[in-house]
Structure 1
Amino acid sequence: MTVKAAGDAGAAGVSPGNADGEWLRVHPASPFVRGWIAIAAIGYFFGRDIFERLIQGGPLIDDRMAGRAPWLLAAGGVILMLAIFGFIMTWYFTRYQVAEGYVRVKTGFLFRQQRQARLDRVQAIDIVQPLLARIFGLAELRFEVADAGESAVRLAFLRMDDARQLRATILARAAGVQADPESPDAAVQEAPEQAVLSVPPSRLVGSLLLSEQSVFVLLGAVGSVLLSVLTGNGGFFLYLIPAALGLAAAYWSSFNKGYNFTAAISPDGIRLRYGLLDTQAQTLPPGRIQALRVFQPPIWRIFGWYRMQVNVAGYGAVGGNGEGGSRTTLLPVGTLADVMTMLSLVLPDPGTPDAARVFTMGINGSNNDGGFVTTPARARLLAPLAWRRNGYVATETALLLRSGRWWRQLVVVPHQRTQSMALHQGPIARRFGVADLVLHTTSGPVVPRLIQADADEARALFQEQAARARAARKRQTSEQWLAQVAAETPAAEPPAPNEFPAPNEPLASRGPLAPREPLAPSQDGPQNG
């Protein structure tokens, strides 16, 4: 193996003719883009007093510090030079390689570390651009693998074009696409894409204003006004200040991460782009989503809005913070038609000929609409409002779990993603003859749980779902998702316009991809009632 120097072609990314197994370096500006906070802290520590004296019209250097000023400046210069030297060494010892079905990253000059990830275990790939990186045209590449609790590999930073090309290379190899034998060293171009939906900023703002935290703050404001009027003490308004600041911060974070949200479909998978200051581009390969949830708060029902979240292996460890929340959001706010469009991308084979009605009833229906099996009437005292909503239905490819009367949700779990199950039955549930069935997938915001099903039906579903999961995993003959898609395509049928290329098809043959026809919402049953 050869090590490519910074001045060589492709030192800051993937060159069109780089050989498999070649070690490359990230962009030379990477450590400065990441470590600008340290430089700013050094400048603040040594320049704070000088800045304050300039504001007050005093001398540049205090008379008491004049004798020690040269030593302080020298110390500051030494610290700054050490920081810059550390940045340079960090860059010099950071290298990455794509070879032998793995991507490897070496970091550290005092404490060496090498991380690697199998390409056929790639779950999702993100291109992240913080504000400073966008100014310099750089991007960070992150991708998750099935057996990693955190980002398996993070490359920061590459030129934007190089990051896209490296992502295309990794996705192509993870998908099982082979290079053209006539030109094996040809650069892998980014697969074409077709936009399927976008979220208007006005709808995003409206969803934030109609969120639960807005209602709580409004109720708190009304309560403070009443208490102030009744007691004659205006101090109650002070309690609204931290709440208002927290609400403003939450609004800004959600708006910044959800702004300009767009979804597109490509041979690489589902591509999501979003962000105002810090932009992010995700690529979710087909079949890698472990579980999906469609959620509707009560106020959103007025406008028919929904949110979609997913569990993806590797994202669970960061699912609790703001970054993880945005990365596990498949649709921040959308209409029922948008939900059906995304469902058709995540689950291209719904496993039932009446998919539109089944999914629509799963989102908005009640009782046995769409074939759902609900909580028995004898247990309605446990959930007086939701017992007609709580239920399940199984298709050939997925299990659908419905729950909630005011906070409605539909959880979809592909059969092959069911890792384990558990039956829960407390003393009160045992008295009414009901039980909960919990499905275990990868960690994330979606918790698949069948609530208050008939105990006998829950036990039967436990056995049936275990059999369905085993059968679905047997049909999954390869970790390479593109090979699975090609294997499931009948040879006698002509390829559809939106069909993925076969694993042995040259990369150069990739053409435009049309999105599959989305599911149309069923007009039967309640929609927003």
Structure 2
Amino acid sequence: MEPGVPPGTVWSAGAPEGAEPRQRLHPLSPALHGAKSLVVVIAGLSWSTLSRVGFGWFALMAVVLALGATVLAVVSWYYTGYHVVGRELRVHEGLLWRRTRAIPLERLQAVEVVRPLLAQLTGLAELRLEVVGGGKTEAPLAYLSVAEATALRQRLLALAGRIAVEPGAPPAGVAAGPAGTPAPPPGRPLHAVANNDLLVSQLLTPQAFMIPFGVAFVVAQFLSEDSWSFVAVASTLTAMAGVLLQPVRRVLDDWNFRLARDEGTLRIRNGLLETRAQTVPLDRVQAVGVTWPLLWRVKGWLRLRLEVAGYSAGEADERNRPDRLLPVGDVATGEAIVTEVLPGVRLAALPLSPPPTRARWLNPLSRGVLGAGLDDRVFAVRSGLLTRQLALVPYARIQSVRVVQGPAQRRLRLATVHADTAGGAGAAARDRDVAEAWALAAELTARSRAARRAG
């Protein structure tokens, strides 16, 4: 081995002369993948299998399957590598069927450092890449040391032109310090969500209000049974856990939520069992969504979310999308953060007008809530009866404008105006007068063209 070459280096046959060597993932990666497989295997075998075969055979089956998964993980790790060639990140993997993924860095939108619980315990991290037009998160590198993941992330973003190289930053593969922990996020701090507010916000959800009914059901079930079997207890608790899963996941995902801003990016850190460090380029923000859940309005709280180009809305795990802007906060905090993302936009001063009175036949309860209007910088749409929602779409981000009429709308001379964005959702002004809808569509088209020329 040549001096100065990291121990996980693999020289790639046929690589261009002078190209950097291929790097392997961390040697503990197979162990972490094997531990994850063990959890999946135990969950897949189910409680009914345990009751049929007994604990001894159940444990043996789980161990054999987990060992097999670990062996496959070791083989996969041995034949997996990555390196940067020019302006491409190349990921090599596969034993029988070799596969090389070349990711052009020009299409790279963001690189996230994610640390699941097992990775935190072992000092490792996972690198996830988001690419324009990707159907899902591309080329996750699991796992690297925290220092290597942080340095590689900075290097890829710099090559993609998303950030400037920070003076004194170590190159990929060089440790940032003896503790192996990433440096604090750069940028100007904008807001830190209080964990107490996060907990209270999730208690003010329909799922939390169902807890007493769930407990009453469990007690009634146990009292009506002659005996309490292990399978019955486990099945009931599993059902209750399913009800509580969403609010619990939100608390774990948004714990210690911190928001900061660089010159052209948002820096987001959050998570308890799985920590995440995300960078969102402001020029990729397609829309901002504001939500006022029914029970939160008592506290005067709202939630902010982003629509970002380059992130697939079809991700199986919604946590892979960096759409969190403010998990919970008051109106003043929401106003301040919206102004940082969309300069000059004030939530309290949006010129929203309701649809015509005849729209009440299609929206008998929510007609007074619906609203749409053209601000100087954004197209604003309000909707929702129990959960109020507001969508803000900058004119420069509008990709197309559509006027849609259903059968009932045609009879009532109404139409819906859709402003589509690259992120997918956009905004829709529902049940406007037909003449107003066509005038609104024309004005949106003209303003979006003017905004793109000015940008």
CA RMSD between the two structures: 4.2
The 2-side partners of 1:216 and 1:185 are apart by 50
TM-score of the aligned structures, taking structure 2 as reference length: 0.77
Counting matched residue pairs gives 417
Contact 1:308 1:331 (8 Å CA) reproduced: yes
TM-score of the aligned structures, taking structure 1 as reference length: 0.67
1:132 to 106, 118, 127: 118
* RCO comparison, higher one (Cα < 8 Å, 6+): 1
Matched with 1:436 is: 416
Cα distance change of structure 1 residues 394 and 119 upon mapping to structure 2, 3 Å threshold: farther
Q: Which runs of 5+ in 2 are unaligned?
A: 11-17, 177-182, 226-232
Residue 466, structure 1, aligned to residue 442, structure 2: no
Q: Residue deviations 1:111-139, cap 9 Å, x none?
A: 22222333232223211111111111110
1:150 to 136, 147, 151: 136
Cα distance change of structure 1 residues 52 and 94 upon mapping to structure 2, 3 Å threshold: closer
Residue 452, structure 1, aligned to residue 415, structure 2: no
Matched residue type, 1:288: R
1:193 to 187, 194, 197: 187
Cα distance change of structure 1 residues 242 and 36 upon mapping to structure 2, 3 Å threshold: closer
Matched with 1:288 is: 284
Matched residue type, 1:133: A
1:313 to 309, 316, 319: 309
Residue 35, structure 1, aligned to residue 37, structure 2: no
1:114 to 82, 86, 100: 100
Matched residue type, 1:115: R
Q: Residue deviations 1:457-511, cap 9 Å, x none?
A: 21122122223333434455xxxxxxxxxxxxxxxxxxxxxxxxxxxxxxxxxxx
Question: Match of 1:316, SS?
Answer: coil
Larger-Rg structure: 1
Matched residue type, 1:374: P
Matched with 2:229 is: none
Q: Residue deviations 1:164-218, cap 9 Å, x none?
A: 11111222232366769xx999748977223221222211111111113334566
1:257 to 253, 260, 263: 253
Contact 2:134 2:312 (8 Å CA) reproduced: no
Q: Which runs of 5+ in 1 are unaligned?
A: 14-18, 56-71, 362-369, 477-529
Matched residue type, 2:371: G
2:5 to 4, 8, 11: 8
Q: Which has the higher strand share?
A: 2
The 1-side partners of 2:278 and 2:210 are apart by 33
Deviation at 1:384, TM superposition (A): 4.3
Residue 401, structure 1, aligned to residue 381, structure 2: yes
Question: Match of 2:252, SS?
Answer: helix
Deviation at 1:429, TM superposition (A): 2.1
Question: Match of 1:295, SS?
Answer: strand
Cα distance change of structure 1 residues 40 and 402 upon mapping to structure 2, 3 Å threshold: closer
Matched residue type, 2:390: L
Matched with 2:295 is: 299
The 2-side partners of 1:390 and 1:185 are apart by 50
Matched residue type, 1:31: P
Cα distance change of structure 1 residues 98 and 461 upon mapping to structure 2, 3 Å threshold: farther
Contact 1:151 1:314 (8 Å CA) reproduced: no
The 1-side partners of 2:215 and 2:69 are apart by 49
The 1-side partners of 2:83 and 2:449 are apart by 36
Matched residue type, 2:328: V
Matched with 1:23 is: 22
The 2-side partners of 1:124 and 1:24 are apart by 21
What does 1:305-384 align with in structure 2 at a 5 Å threshold? 305-319=301-315, 321=317, 323-324=319-320, 327-347=322-342, 349-350=343-344, 355-356=345-346, 359-361=347-349, 370-384=350-364
Cα distance change of structure 1 residues 320 and 332 upon mapping to structure 2, 3 Å threshold: farther
What does 1:215-294 align with in structure 2 at a 5 Å threshold? 215=209, 244-267=240-263, 269-294=265-290
The 1-side partners of 2:164 and 2:259 are apart by 27
Matched residue type, 2:31: F
Deviation at 1:241, TM superposition (A): 6.6
Contact 1:131 1:278 (8 Å CA) reproduced: yes
Question: Match of 2:432, SS?
Answer: strand
Deviation at 1:382, TM superposition (A): 3.4
Question: Match of 1:379, SS?
Answer: helix
Contact 1:315 1:328 (8 Å CA) reproduced: no
